[in-house]
Structure 1
């Protein structure tokens, strides 16, 4: 039977001992080394070439994300499983960007920890359900932002841009009409046309759209 060789990195001995106790007696998992900071974790991985590095995010010298980023570039045969007390979106996304294969909260069950270790040792990613939801939500938000950025901006005529600028500055139709030597009705027609084209319902939304999309 091939054993999953694991290096365990956490700056608290009581946490390392707790995890070792959880994994004690598991036939296909072996803790081959321990580290109490990120730099020591990197050194242990280089020395022992484990299958998986279980590493806490918050550690001295190098934190877990920094250590994972180094190892994902320089020692790719070892895959990192992040451990954390926090389901913090920033931590999770930075861990994924650094090359982590998994992310578990420290209150996870023994069974889930084993599922994660076995999946990652086999080359698969593993994230607990709550963590997966955060990753998916972030991905969907990025897709939405990308789609918005790639949408062509509505074309406005020179006169419409001038009127829109006055609207943004707080002028009403009568004031704009006087400044541009137009009738107030003409200004209102332009305003209505721009609102329809920009998909907004009122002047407040029109101003917000103009500023957000830098139309003026």
Structure 2
């Protein structure tokens, strides 16, 4: 596969440099110059074309969520993973609503950070499992119009709806492949297609939209 270009945005130089050095040992990751602030982050995103941006939400006097907004507006194809010392559910929900596809605390291992970066680059994402339910509940309580989601779902093929239902049921790619009798590559293709049609950037966003439109997990 194409190497994944990663831009770290963090004003804590020692942490950022240590993370960059560790991730740089991963053969499929290309670590770009570190951005310590919003100005540098936007400049490097424009010139270096990262696939994944690893963003701290505390950048000195700057608000990381505003940086997220600016990056997503200027470069909507860039996948943003928040890596922060914060453990604030409200901030987590706001980040996901604004387009982040992952949230990690800085206490997590570099191995997990690398896995989440890979998942993000492949149109996946990551929310800590112990808070995923609450994050989804808060996302579902937002003011998005349910009928708009229903109209988007109507554009999916029957197979794409089956894959989406499996995602709502909490199944991973291998489990979806087994349930539907498909190969993992075929499931990946259907997932990418449905995310594109729904204009979603992660499985979490797609599941949230589907549930707003009335889809519910099937009984086990």
Q: TM-score, normalised by structure 1?
A: 0.61
How much does 1:39 deviate?
2.4
Report the secondary structure of 2:26's partner residue.
coil
Task: Classify the secondary structure of the residue corresponding to 1:7.
Answer: strand
2:12 is matched with which residue? 12
Equivalence for 1:87: 87
Q: Secondary structure at the match of 1:138?
A: helix
Judged with a 3 Å threshold, the aligned counterparts in structure 2 of structure 1 residues 61 and 75 are, in CA distance, closer, same or farther, namely farther
Aligned to 1:45: 45
The residue that corresponds to 1:71 in the other structure is 71
Residue 141 of structure 1: how far off its partner (Å):
5.3
Go from structure 1 to structure 2 and tell me whether the alpha carbon gap of 1:29 and 1:94 turns closer, same or farther (over 3 Å shift): same
Matched residues, number: 144
The corresponding residue for 2:218 is none
- 1:89-110, CA deviations, whole angstroms, 9 ceiling, x for partnerless residues? 1210111121111111111112
Q: CA deviation at 1:142?
A: 5.4
C-alpha displacement at 1:62, in angstroms? Answer: 3.6
CA distance in 2, matches of 1:74, 1:29: 23
User: Taking structure 1 as reference, are residues 55 and 103 closer, same or farther at Cα in structure 2, changes over 3 Å only?
Assistant: same
- Partner of 2:58, secondary structure, is coil
Please identify the structure whose Cα radius of gyration is greater.
Answer: 1
Seen in structure 2, the aligned counterparts of structure 1 residues 72 and 131 have a Cα distance that, compared at 3 Å, is farther
Gaps of 5+ in 1: 147-216
Please state whether the residue corresponding to 1:27 is helix, strand or coil: coil
* Closer/same/farther in 2, CA of residues 142 and 70 from structure 1, 3 Å limit: closer
Q: How does 1:59-138 map to 2 (within 5 A)?
A: 59-60=59-60, 62-138=62-138
1:77/1:39 Cα in 2 relative to 1: closer, same or farther (>3 Å)?
same
CA positional deviation for 1:63: 2.4
Q: CA deviation at 1:79?
A: 1.0
Shift of 1:32: 1.3
Aligned 1:147-158 pairs, distance under 5 A: none
* Partner of residue 33, structure 1: 33
- Please report how far the alpha carbon of residue 29 of structure 1 lies from its aligned counterpart in structure 2 after TM superposition: 0.6
Shift of the alpha carbon at 1:19?
A: 0.8
Runs of 4+ in 1 over 4 A off after TM superposition: 140-143
Structure 1 CA distance for aligned equivalents of residues 42 and 62 of structure 2: 9
Distance 1:76 1:138, change over 3 A: same
Q: Aligned-pair distance for 1:140?
A: 5.6
